[in-house]
Amino acid sequence: MNEMLIAQALSLDVMFTELVRHAADNYTKWPTSAARYARLALRAQANCRASVETVARADRAKQRARGRGDA
């Protein structure tokens, strides 16, 4: 499960980068399209963060179950 979430986070990070680039490239000619690209980029970034946080929570739960994580 963690490997899948990490792969998803990496893919979303690439999407974020590409969408931001498209937004920047289109800003002067098509500001409405650029805004849409920017919104999609922010959604990709938020989903990337959510995936990383899920992996972190799962790892902390696993450590607690093993008796190693008291933090």
Reported as a single tens digit per residue, the pLDDT across 5-35 is: 999 999 999 999 999 999 999 999 999 999 9
Residues 6+ apart with CB under 8 A from 63: 69
Tokens linked to 49 = 């963060």
Contact of 59 with 69, CB cutoff 8 Å:
no
Q: Is the pTM of this model over 0.85?
A: no
Contact of 32 with 18, CB cutoff 8 Å:
no
